[in-house]
């Protein structure tokens, strides 16, 4: 079955009368170009393989909206030194094999790529390396930092889980019994690296390690095991489509541990039907009261984030039906990375695959405008430097995770995923030493 496709192209010269403004006559010589680069028309094509269907659609749709909105705004404001960017979005449905098929059909037409999901991105990783196609993964696997062709952002899953356990155990001072229920794939494997290391560091009691497959709907056995073991804290590692059934299953027998949702396990619609504070509470909202989650973006409307006002202005104009979402923010923020790389390549006069790759590994620090922590790219093979070794600027305490008002340009309600109904808390992130991934 053919998956849906969509394309975004804003800011190209449309009228005959405007062709003189788009001419390269009299301009400096066009940079050396490669796949996805139309040097004559000054157009860059960026691929976006995401999940608009399947178990991760609740994440893929706002991620794509955020990325496409970012580029729509950039193009309207003149693009990258006069270059416009076309985003070619494809839906793999969070299926690794379909992801590979789409990549093979897309690779010759794009200059850079965005790839959503850990298992799906790992399926195409050898191909990315062979093609030397710079790719922004929309996931946070620790291993992304060992591959120089990738341009990751955000704190790796293993650090996320270790940081969460540092918090709930008070750095080992508090005696608690901790269980983890995790998606049994690449996502869960990386989370378990952090869990196992934190267990060694803090010495908490392990109540159980319960795996499940993406798409599973019955979690009775896992919840019964954790309840029987008297787990005080339960960490959920998976997609939001699993979080709801997991929490709902536990609520039925009256079991309410301290829930800790790692970043991608949370979506605003777990709390209300439309993801806003004004929406109707969901059946699991009460069970999630007081839950912790490890967020990966700044809160919606945060006036201290320098890029927030522009993001909300662009969202209001180009994606007016998109409600506040941490995933929209992530997609938009990663656009800042994707913009910085071709900017450097264009400035160097080389927009070939090799030139874009060279620009990425020499990029240095990228200012994320407070939407995420800044990232630094070098030729060093390691997790993203700023996220792995420092406090995250996207971590807010419960009283400051949502501002009292949005920027004046915003038309959406003030909102943060951690304060939908003043029920959730944000974990303060502190790094814990972890072994280098093999």
pTM of the full predicted structure? 0.81
Q: Check whether residue 285 and residue 309 sit in a common domain.
A: no
Confidence of residue 380 (pLDDT cuts 50, 70, 90): confident
Residues 139 and 31 in one domain: yes
Q: Single out the residue of 153, 411, 119 nearest to residue 297, CA to CA.
A: 153
Residue 300 within any structural domain of the chain: no
Per-residue buried b or exposed e for 74-99, using 16+ beta carbons within 10 Å of the residue's own CB: bbeeebbeebbbbbbbbbbbbbbebb
Domain count, the chain: 2
Domain housing 162: 157-295+416-426
H/E stretch holding 166: helix 157-168
> Tens digits of per-residue pLDDT, 351-378?
999 999 999 999 999 999 999 999 999 9
9 burial level (CB within 10 Å; 0-12, 13-18, 19+): middle
CATH number at residue 291: 3.40.50.2300
Report yes or no on 435 lying in a domain. no
Q: Closest Cα to residue 80, out of 132, 119, 39?
A: 39
pLDDT tens for 202-255 read 999 999 999 999 889 999 999 999 999 999 999 999 999 999 999 999 988 889
pLDDT at 327 over 90: yes
Q: Do residue 202 and residue 339 come from a single domain?
A: no
Please say if the pLDDT value at position 291 is more than 70: yes
CA separation for the pair 58, 116 (Å, rounded): 12
Domain membership flag for residue 396: no
Tokens, residue 346: 């264009």
Q: Assess whether 176 and 205 both reside in one domain.
A: yes
- Identify whether 407 is part of a domain: no
Say if residue 142 is in the same domain as residue 12.
yes
287 and 312 belong to one structural domain: no
Q: What is the mean pLDDT of the chain?
A: 82
Please say whether the beta carbons of 377 and 386 come within 8 A: no
CB 100 within 8 A of CB 115: no
Q: What is the pLDDT of residue 260?
A: 96
- Position 30 scores a pLDDT of 54
pLDDT tens sequence across 26-60: 444 555 789 999 999 999 999 999 999 999 999 99
Distance CA 121, CA 400 (A): 34
């Amino acid at each position: 079955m053919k998956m849906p496709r969509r394309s975004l192209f804003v800011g190209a010269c449309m009228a005959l009368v405007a062709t003189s403004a788009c001419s390269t006559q009299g301009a400096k010589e066009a940079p050396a170009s490669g796949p996805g680069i139309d040097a004559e028309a000054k157009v860059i094509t960026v691929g976006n393989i995401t999940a608009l269907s399947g178990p991760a659609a609740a994440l893929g749709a706002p991620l794509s909206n955020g990325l496409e909105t970012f580029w729509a705004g950039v193009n309207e404001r003149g693009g990258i030194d006069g270059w416009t960017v076309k985003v070619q979005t494809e839906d793999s449905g969070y299926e690794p094999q379909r992801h590979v098929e789409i990549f093979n059909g897309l690779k010759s037409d794009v200059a850079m790529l965005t790839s959503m999901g850990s298992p799906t991105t790992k399926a195409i990783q050898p191909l990315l390396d062979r093609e030397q196609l710079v790719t922004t993964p929309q996931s946070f696997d620790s291993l992304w930092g060992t591959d120089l062709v990738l341009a990751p952002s955000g704190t790796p899953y293993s650090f996320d889980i270790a940081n969460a356990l540092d918090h709930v155990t008070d750095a080992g001072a508090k005696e608690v019994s901790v269980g983890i229920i995790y998606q049994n794939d690449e996502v869960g494997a990386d989370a378990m690296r952090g869990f196992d290391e934190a267990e060694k560091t803090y010495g908490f009691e392990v109540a159980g390690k319960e795996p499940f497959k993406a798409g599973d709907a019955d979690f009775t056995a896992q919840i019964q095991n954790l309840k029987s073991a008297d787990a005080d804290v339960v960490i959920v590692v998976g997609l939001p489509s699993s979080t709801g059934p997991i929490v709902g299953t536990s609520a039925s027998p009256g079991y309410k541990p301290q829930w800790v949702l790692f970043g991608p396990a949370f979506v605003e619609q777990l709390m209300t039907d439309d993801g806003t504070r004004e929406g109707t509470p969901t059946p699991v909202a009460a069970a999630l009261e007081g839950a912790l989650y490890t967020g990966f973006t700044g809160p919606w409307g945060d006036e201290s984030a320098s890029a927030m006002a522009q993001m909300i202005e662009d969202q209001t104009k180009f994606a007016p039906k998109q409600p506040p979402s941490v995933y929209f923010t992530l997609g938009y923020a990663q656009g800042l990375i994707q913009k910085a790389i071709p900017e450097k390549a264009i400035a160097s006069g080389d927009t070939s695959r090799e030139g874009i790759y060279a620009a990425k590994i020499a990029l240095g620090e990228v200012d994320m405008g407070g939407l995420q922590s800044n990232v630094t790219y070098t030729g060093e093979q390691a997790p993203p430097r700023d996220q792995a070794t420092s406090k995250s600027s996207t971590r807010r305490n419960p009283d400051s995770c949502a501002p009292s008002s949005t920027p004046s340009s915003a038309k959406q309600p003030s909102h943060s995923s951690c304060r939908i109904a003043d029920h959730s808390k944000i974990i303060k992130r502190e790094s814990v030493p972890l072994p280098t991934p093999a």
